[in-house]
Amino acid sequence: MDKKLNRDTLCVQAGWSPKKGEPRVVPICQSTTFKYDTSEQMARLFDLEESGYFYTRLQNPTNDAVAAKIAALEGGVGAMLTASGQAANFYAVFNICEAGDHVVCSSTVYGGTYNLFAVTLKKLGIGCTFVDAGQPEEELDKAFRPNTKALFGETISNPGGDVLDIEKFARTAHRHGVPLIVDNTFATPINCRPFEWGADIVTHSTTKYMDGHAVSVGGAIVDSGNFDWEAHAGKFPGLTAPDPSYHGLTYTKAFGRMAYITKATAQLMRDLGSTQSPQNAFLLNLGLETLHLRMPRHCGNAQRVAEWLEAHPKVKWVNYCGLKSSKYYELGRKYLPDGSCGVIAFGLDGSREDAVRFMDRLKFICIVTHVADARTCVLHPASHTHRQLSDEQLREAGVAPDLIRLSVGIENAEDILSDLEQALEGM
């Protein structure tokens, strides 16, 4: 598929080009394994000498078609689907890190990602320093060490709604000879393509806007193919030195710009699993086909709701980069000129208990853990998704105790506002 096609067309057409007599829609290859005529054919697949299918944990035709669509949307050379967004972020980092290494991460990332980096990776011997993404570059530089292997951030932070200065982060990462990994879940490639601003690897929780209907959990890693691993060979031996588990194959030499994503598939997915099921990939593809139609509606509705909340006397503060009052307004105009996402962070003029009472009064706007699907929903992170963090950690992560995360769906905007209004009137 021609990557120069408009993103709207790629949403519908990329990843699957049926031949004569083949299904028009991406088929579900619901099989664990695939048959070959000779032992030699299978051996060449196991040695990575040929591309093909032999076990769904490593590759599956349905998954590969959907991964190719996501890679085309982001402008990358290749992608890999994972069982969840958390698995994608873990694999993206673990693919280039090992015990004794270190990463630098924006402090305002999603609470689950924060815990992954601060607690779980630490158990594996990988350290992490969290930084204020708004700091000048010279301050960000201080967080890097000789053993730092990556810089990580979110295009739009979850749940705070902060916008990442991708170019600044990319310059900083490259100055230290490491890749910039950006979680682009909230913006999606419809509203921002981080590779165009210097990022090297992109991750997604496809569970969110890409699926769009809250029916399938999944994740994706996309490689730009632009980071020169050989130029920093000493830092990344997993890619630039022989892999004993594949008869001494060196990924950068064997696969060139596809080295990173090939290693993630052939080594990490082989050893750790976390494969997305073909059924979930099929459902994800259905969501991707309308992503370019849904995102403008999410953004348009969210802009109206954010402006309404900002003007309401019972609302203390609102963070949405589409508001001129937002400190991220200019960054939003730079990186997200066509709209950001449907997620708004705001706080009421009251206590944490008032936030809970407000949510309990809502009617069709539901309290759910999920975010970024077709239905408007709400969450109080301090009580739910981030409850494992202390108050100090909450502040470091940019999550105020009174923060309410409102994920604006694609319903009629007037109905959304009416539900919010009746809930606030009873406060």
Question: 155-205, pLDDT tens digit by residue?
Answer: 999 988 999 999 999 999 999 999 999 999 999 999 999 999 999 999 999
- Per-chain mean pLDDT for the chain: 94
pLDDT of residue 42: 83
What is the phi/psi pair of residue 397, to 5°? Answer: -85, 5
Average pLDDT on 50-58 reads 87
Q: What is the pTM of this model?
A: 0.94
Is residue 389's pLDDT more than 80? no
